[in-house]
Amino acid sequence: MALDTLKLGLIGAGRMGSLHAEHVTQRIPRATILAVADVNEAATRECANTCGIPRAIGDYHEILATSEIDAVLICSATDTHAQAIVDAAAAHKHIFVEKPIAQNLIDTDRALAAVEAAGVKLQVGFHRRFDPTYLRVHHAIRHGDIGTPHMFHIVSRDPHPPHLEYLLACGGLFLDMTIHDFDMSRFLIGSEVEEVYAVGGALIDPAHGQDGHVDTALLMVKFQNGVFGSIDNSRQAVYGYDQRVAVLGSRGAIETENHFPNETTISTAENIHRDLPLNFFMHRYTEAYTTEIATFVDAVCDDKPTPVTGADGRIAVVMGLAAQRSLAENRPVKLSEVPGA
Amino acid sequence: MALDTLKLGLIGAGRMGSLHAEHVTQRIPRATILAVADVNEAATRECANTCGIPRAIGDYHEILATSEIDAVLICSATDTHAQAIVDAAAAHKHIFVEKPIAQNLIDTDRALAAVEAAGVKLQVGFHRRFDPTYLRVHHAIRHGDIGTPHMFHIVSRDPHPPHLEYLLACGGLFLDMTIHDFDMSRFLIGSEVEEVYAVGGALIDPAHGQDGHVDTALLMVKFQNGVFGSIDNSRQAVYGYDQRVAVLGSRGAIETENHFPNETTISTAENIHRDLPLNFFMHRYTEAYTTEIATFVDAVCDDKPTPVTGADGRIAVVMGLAAQRSLAENRPVKLSEVPGA
Amino acid sequence: MALDTLKLGLIGAGRMGSLHAEHVTQRIPRATILAVADVNEAATRECANTCGIPRAIGDYHEILATSEIDAVLICSATDTHAQAIVDAAAAHKHIFVEKPIAQNLIDTDRALAAVEAAGVKLQVGFHRRFDPTYLRVHHAIRHGDIGTPHMFHIVSRDPHPPHLEYLLACGGLFLDMTIHDFDMSRFLIGSEVEEVYAVGGALIDPAHGQDGHVDTALLMVKFQNGVFGSIDNSRQAVYGYDQRVAVLGSRGAIETENHFPNETTISTAENIHRDLPLNFFMHRYTEAYTTEIATFVDAVCDDKPTPVTGADGRIAVVMGLAAQRSLAENRPVKLSEVPGA
Amino acid sequence: MALDTLKLGLIGAGRMGSLHAEHVTQRIPRATILAVADVNEAATRECANTCGIPRAIGDYHEILATSEIDAVLICSATDTHAQAIVDAAAAHKHIFVEKPIAQNLIDTDRALAAVEAAGVKLQVGFHRRFDPTYLRVHHAIRHGDIGTPHMFHIVSRDPHPPHLEYLLACGGLFLDMTIHDFDMSRFLIGSEVEEVYAVGGALIDPAHGQDGHVDTALLMVKFQNGVFGSIDNSRQAVYGYDQRVAVLGSRGAIETENHFPNETTISTAENIHRDLPLNFFMHRYTEAYTTEIATFVDAVCDDKPTPVTGADGRIAVVMGLAAQRSLAENRPVKLSEVPGA
C-alpha cells in the first residue's frame, strides 16, 4: 500500500540535519518533517524555526514514540548512529542514516541486525551516487560506452582541514572521508573489493599526525573482477573542493571535472584564468543531497528497495578498516583479513 | 517603513507565471502569492494547486481590488502587458512585468506614465542580469579586470524554433528574443546605445520568412562611449540553448561558456565528447529567475530601487524597433530615428 | 613534365622572407633557394648566411635574369609587390607573393594581367588556409558536419599594435590585417561576398586615429548564398595573439580555440590559470607557413593549380576597399560599388 | 675548448635512429651525422639516403674507429645498448643512448663503469624531460607555484599494444614503458625513491599474460621526502596516446592535458566533440626529441654536464626491477631490496 506523503522525524539538528531539513521543506513535496530532536537545544530550535518544523525536542526517543511518524533521518554525531538505528528499528521507523553506520563492525552489525529483524527500510547517506556527474559516469559504464572497465582514479580533496579536534575524533581519514570514495568505486565498477593498500602522511601539518592519523593519502583498491584503481585524498586543496573520477575501459575512457560557480574565463596580460570551483560540499552537492532524500522518500512511500543499502554501508566500513591496517602495516590487506568481515 | 513579507498577486498562469509561482513558493520565503488570475481557467487552477495559492480567478482586476495584495507579477500575453501595468499602477500595486513592456512605444510610454503617476515600483523581467555567469562578467568589467571595454560579441540561440504561429505573432525576433541581448549589452557596457544595424534571413526554414520575419540575425550595436559589438541570434542551435558573451577590453578579455547538465567527458575510438548543454531556458536560468523575483521582493519590502527599471525596458524596445527598421532598409539606424524615441 | 626539385629566388630578406627561407631550407626538401635579393644589404647577407643561400644580391632583377631559377617568392614591401609580379612574370618565373597583391585595384589588375599573359603560376600568401585548425573547420563544413552554414564569427586580434609609422603606411587595418579574415570567410563559407559593413575606432590609442585610421574594428559580411557573419579585429589583445573562428550551421556548429605553448593548468588559492596563447604569428603559424610554400612548390613541380589564386587575392583587396568606404560612409557597401570591381 | 659543431655516428637505423637522424639533419645545425651503422643493410641505406648521411655501414665498430667522429647516438636494440656503450667509451666517443641502458643492473653497471673510466659524457634518452608541457610542470614546481609537492598521478597509456612478440621480449611493461614515468616522477618531485608497489593484469588481452607479463598496471611510488604518487599505465587507450601528469602541493595543484592535432570543437544534435589527441609518440614528442639531441650536442660541444645522466638511467632500471618484484610478490618493495641497488 503506497503512502501519499511521508511523515519524517529528524534526529540531529547539526549541519547535515539542517541541510536535509531545508531540502525536505523546500524541494521534496512528498515528505514533511513533523519533529526535530537534538541535544543541542538552540540548534534544534533554530532548525525548527527556519524550516517550519512543528516540534523541536531534546530526546529523539520522543520522535520514535510518535506513531504518526513513518521514518527518521539520522544525522546526529557518528558515534550515535548505530544506537539510533537500533532504537528506530525497534520503533518500526524506516531509516535514513548519514555515513558511516558506525566506526567499527560490531556496532555496524548490531545496527543492521536490528534493521533486519524489524523489517524496516534503511538507506545510507552516500549522496554522491545521486550527483548528476557521477551518475553520468555510472550510466556510461553500465551502458558499455567505455567497454569493460580496467582501471580507475578517484580524486577527493577537501578545501581545508577540519579542526584538529574533529580530525582526531572522526574515526580517521579513511572512515570519515575516503568512505565516500570506497562507495563510489563500488558504485562505478560494479564488483566487490578484494584488497586495499594505503599510503599516507601528515603532509599538510605535522600536528595532524598524532595517533597515526594522516591528512593526505593514496590508496590502491583491487576488485574481484580484475579492475584496480587509486584513490587520492587530501584534507587541503587550497584551490577548492576537488571531486573527480576517471575510468579507463577497453573501448574508451571517461573523466569528470569539478563544478564551478560560473562559466567565465578572464584573459589578461598575465594569464588566462577562471574562478575556483565550488568550495563547499553543501553547494557542490545540493542537487545530490536533495535527490538522495527524495529517493528515500519514494522508496518508503512506494515500498521499493532503497538505492543504498545497509550492506553497501557495511562494506565501506570494512574497506576503511582494511585501509587503516594497510597503512599501519605497509602492505596490501585483503578485506577478508578484517575481523568480522 | 519596511515590509516583513510581500503579498503577491500573479497575473498570468502560463509558462512564465507558473515558473515564478514555483520559485516564490519554494525558494523565496519573504514573499507569498495570495491569488493567481488567468483567462485560461484550467491553467489557473493547476498553477494554484501546484503551488498552494489560495485563490484562482479569471479576471486579474479581482487581484487589483484586493487591498491585502502589495504587488503583482505580470506574466500574461505580451500584448496585455501595457494595460495590466496601467491597471495595476492605478490600483497602487508595485509591478514586476515580463519583457517586453509592449511591442510599440505608445503603449510602453502609456504604461510608464501610469507607473510614474502612481509612484509604484516597476521591474522588467531581464532575468539574465541575475545569472551568476553574466553577473561575473558585469562585475569583472566594473572592477576593471579587462580595462576599458572596446568590443563585444553576444551569442543567443534557441535550441529549436517556436511554432510558426508564435513566431509570426511574437513581435518579431528583435522584440521577442534579441531584446534580452539588447539589455545585456547595456548591462555589460554601461553606456547608452546610439545606433543599430541588423542583417537577417529565414535560413532555418523559408516559411519563417513571412511578412519580413527572420529566424537568424546578426546585429551590430554602437554605444555612445565608442564601444561596438555584435549580437548573434538564431532560432535553432541543434546542439542546445547557446547563451554566451565575450568582451574585449584594453587590459584583457572575458568570455563565458554554456552550462551543462554534468561535467563528464567521454573518450572513445571515435572522438572525445561531452553531453549537450542545458537545453531549456528554464533549466539554464533557474537561479537567475529566482534571484530576479527575490530582488524585486526585497526592493519593494525595503523600499529600494528595482535593479531593472522601466527606462531599461523602454530602451530595449527602442533598440528592437530600430533593428526592425535597419533590417528593412539595410542601413544602420540611430535610436533617435525611432518615432517617439 | 614534372620537376624533381624547384629552384627558387627570394625577393625580400625581411621578416617574412627570412621565415620562408628558413622553412624552405630546413623543411621543404623539394625546393632550394639559389639567391636572395633585398635593397637592405645587411639583411640580405644575414638571410643568406643563416640559410646557406649561395647568392646575396641587392637588385632582384638579377634573380629574374638567372635562367636556372624556376620561381620566386616575393616578400618585399607591400608597395613593391605589383611591380615585382609584373617583372617576374615577364621573366617567366612562377610566383608566390605575400598578401596583399597591392593596395589598389589598378596595380592588382596590372599584376594579374602580367601573370595571365605570361602563363606562369601565382599563389597569394593566405597561409591560414594551411593551418591544421582552420583546415579542420573547412573540411568539417565541406563534409556536411554542421549542415548548411548560416552565420559565422571570426576573431583576429594582434597581441600589440605595430609602430605608428607602420600602422599609418600599411594601407589600413582592412588591407593589412582584415584581409586574412576576408579570405578566411570565403575559404570557409564557399560562396562569394556581396556586401560589407564596417565600424571601427582608434580605441587603443587616439594617435592611431590619424587620417581616418582605426585600431579596432567590427565588420559584417554578407555572402551571395545568404550566409552572413562578423569579423572582430583589434591591434591589441594584451593576452596574446587571438585567432579563432566559429560557424553555425543547420545541423551544428564548429568553433576553434587558440594554440598554447603548453597544455598545463595551475590551480592556486587565487584562481585556475594557464599560460597565455602563442603570442607571435610566426610561432602560431609555423606549420601553416611551411605547408603553404611546400604546396606552392608541389603545384609548380607537378604542374597543378595553386591553392590560392590571383583571383582570391584580388577579391580580398576588393573587400578591403569596400570596408574602407563603408567605414567612411557608415553604411553597408556592395563589392560592386568598388570602382573596377 | 668548445667545439663549433659535433660530428656524430648513428648506431641503429630503426625507428628511433631514423627519427634522430631526421631531427639532426633538419633542425640541429650544430651537429652532423657522418655515418650510420645497422646490421639491417636496407634500413641503413634508407636512413643514409633520406638524411644525406655520407656513410652507411653494417658494423658499428667502423664508426668507433673513425677518429673524426666525436660522439655516437646508440639507438640499436635494447639488449645491445650496454655493450655498445662499453665499446663507444673505449673508443672515447661521447654517448647518447636510448632508454633503458640495459634490462639488468649488471650490464647497466658495466656500461656506466666504462663511461666513468673513459671520462666521456653520457646522456640517457628520457626525452619527456624536454617536452614543453612537462617542462612547464617542472618549472612551476621548482618555482614554488604549488608550494611543497604532496602527491602526484601520472597517466601514460599507449594507443594500442605492440605485437605480442615485442611485448614478451621488451623486458616487461615496467622496463619498457613505465621506465619513462619512473624518470618523470623523479624529474618532477626532485627527491629519491624509496619504495614501489605495483599491481597489474593482462586486461586487454589474456594472451599478453604469458610469463607473468601485464598489459595494464597501476603503481605506487614513495619518495624519501614523504611525497607519494601513482602511475597509471596501459598498452591500449583506444582514444589515442594519453600522456598526462598531475601534482598536488601545499599551495596549489598543476595538471596537464594531452596534445591535439587541432583546436576545433564540433557541436551537433548528438554531442560536443573534438578529434582524438595526437596518436603517435613521434608526433606527440617531436619537439622533445629534437631538444633532447640538441641539448646533448650542446653539452658535448660546450663541455657542460648532460641533463640526463647515467645515474638517472640506472635508478629508473632499479625502479623497474623493484616493480617487477612487487608485482610478483604483491607487496611494496624497497629499492634497496633490488640486488646490486
Considering only CB atoms, which chain D residues are within 8 Å of C146? 266, 268
Chains contacting A (3 or more CB pairs within 8 Å): B, C, D
**Residues B203-228 as b or e (16 or more Cβ within 10 Å = b):** bbeeebeeeebbbbbbbbbbbeebbb
B25 reaches A (C-beta below 8 A): no
What is the reported pLDDT for B24?
A: 95
Chains contacting C (3 or more CB pairs within 8 Å): A, B, D
**Under 8 Å between Cβ of B265 and A255:** yes
**Smallest Cα–Cα separation from A295: which of A307, A310, A309, A313?**
A307
Q: D226 pLDDT exceeds 60?
A: yes
- Is the preceding peptide bond at B307 cis, omega within 30 degrees of 0? no
Nearest CA in chain A to B131: A262
Give the B:C interface size as CB pairs under 8 Å: 95
SS3 of B57, please? Answer: strand
Considering only CB atoms, which chain A residues are within 8 Å of D252? 238-239
**Residues C265-279 as b or e (16 or more Cβ within 10 Å = b):** bbbbeeebbbbbbbb
Amino acid at A285: Y
What is the reported pLDDT for C313?
A: 97
* Cα of B178 to nearest chain C Cα, Å: 16
Mean pLDDT over each residue of chain D, to the nearest integer: 96
Vertex A340: Cα angle to A337 and A341 (nearest 5): 60
Residue A281: pLDDT band by 50, 70, 90 thresholds? confident
C330 reaches A (C-beta below 8 A): no
User: A55-57 and A31-37 as β-strands: parallel, antiparallel, unpaired?
Assistant: parallel
Nearest CA in chain D to C26: D26
Q: Which three cell numbers stand for residue D171?
A: 623486458
Q: Report how far residue D170's alpha carbon sits from residue D153's, in angstroms, rounded to the nearest whole number.
A: 25
Mean pLDDT over each residue of chain C, to the nearest integer: 96
Residue B26: pLDDT band by 50, 70, 90 thresholds? confident
What is the reported pLDDT for A298?
A: 97
Q: Which three cell numbers stand for residue D51?
A: 638524411
Mean pLDDT of all residues in D106-112? 97
Say which of B140, B258, B269 has its CB closest to residue A263: B258
Q: Which of B150, B158, B251, B326 to mutate to test the interface with C (most CBs of C within 10 A)?
A: B150
Please enumerate in sequence order all residues whose Cβ is within 8 A of that of C139, keeping only pairs 6 or more positions apart, or say none.
Answer: none
Mean pLDDT of all residues in B269-287? 90
What is the reported pLDDT for C226?
A: 97
Mean pLDDT of all residues in A69-81? 96
C250 reaches B (C-beta below 8 A): yes
**Smallest Cα–Cα separation from D200: which of D234, D167, D229?**
D234
Instruction: Compute the CA torsion angle B40, B46, B49, B53 (nearest 10 deg).
Output: -40
Q: Report how far residue D304's alpha carbon sits from residue A41's, in angstroms, rounded to the nearest whole number.
A: 73
Chain B, 122 to 151: residues with Cβ < 8 Å from chain D are none
pLDDT per residue as tens digits for the range D155-185: 999 999 999 999 988 889 999 999 999 999 9
**Smallest Cα–Cα separation from C296: which of C98, C49, C50, C54?**
C98
Nearest CA in chain D to B273: D273
Residue C337 DSSP code: G
Mean pLDDT of all residues in B8-36? 95
What is the reported pLDDT for C235?
A: 97
What is the reported pLDDT for B169?
A: 85
* Cα of B249 to nearest chain C Cα, Å: 8
What is the reported pLDDT for A336?
A: 97
**Smallest Cα–Cα separation from C193: which of C309, C102, C104, C319?**
C319
Q: Report how far residue B39's alpha carbon sits from residue B31's, in angstroms, rounded to the nearest whole number.
A: 24
Considering only CB atoms, which chain A residues are within 8 Å of C272? 239, 273-277
pLDDT per residue as tens digits for the range A215-268: 999 999 999 999 999 999 999 999 999 999 999 999 999 999 999 999 999 999
Mean pLDDT of all residues in A261-279? 95
Low-confidence ranges of chain C (pLDDT < 70): 1
pLDDT per residue as tens digits for the range C21-61: 999 998 898 999 999 999 999 999 999 999 999 999 999 99
pLDDT per residue as tens digits for the range C113-164: 999 999 999 999 999 999 999 999 999 999 999 999 999 999 999 999 999 9
How much of chain B, in percent, has pLDDT values that exceed 70? 100
D252 reaches C (C-beta below 8 A): yes
Q: D266 pLDDT exceeds 80?
A: yes
The helix (H) or strand (E) run that includes residue D63 is helix D60-64
Answer whether A250 sits within 8 Å of D330, measured CB to CB: no
Q: B1 pLDDT exceeds 70?
A: no
**DSSP letter string over A180-207?**
HHHHHHHHHH-S-EEEEEEEEE--S-GG
What is the reported pLDDT for B2?
A: 76
Answer whether B275 sits within 8 Å of D272, measured CB to CB: yes
* Cα of C240 to nearest chain A Cα, Å: 8
**C167 against D134, higher pLDDT:** D134
Answer whether B257 sits within 8 Å of A263, measured CB to CB: yes
Say which of C257, C261, C268 has its CB closest to residue D132: C261
Answer whether D264 sits within 8 Å of C133, measured CB to CB: yes
Amino acid at D230: S
A218 reaches D (C-beta below 8 A): yes
Q: Which three cell numbers stand for residue B276?
A: 549537450
Mean pLDDT of all residues in D188-216? 96
**Smallest Cα–Cα separation from C230: which of B333, B233, B176, B146?**
B233
What is the reported pLDDT for C98?
A: 96
Q: Report how far residue C97's alpha carbon sits from residue A143's, in angstroms, rounded to the nearest whole number.
A: 55
Mean pLDDT over each residue of chain A, to the nearest integer: 96
Answer whether A248 sits within 8 Å of D157, measured CB to CB: yes
Vertex B30: Cα angle to B27 and B36 (nearest 5): 75
What is the reported pLDDT for C318?
A: 98
**Residues C80-96 as b or e (16 or more Cβ within 10 Å = b):** bbbbbbbbbbebebbbb
What is the reported pLDDT for C169?
A: 85
Considering only CB atoms, which chain A residues are within 8 Å of B261? 132, 136
Considering only CB atoms, which chain C residues are within 8 Å of A270? 276
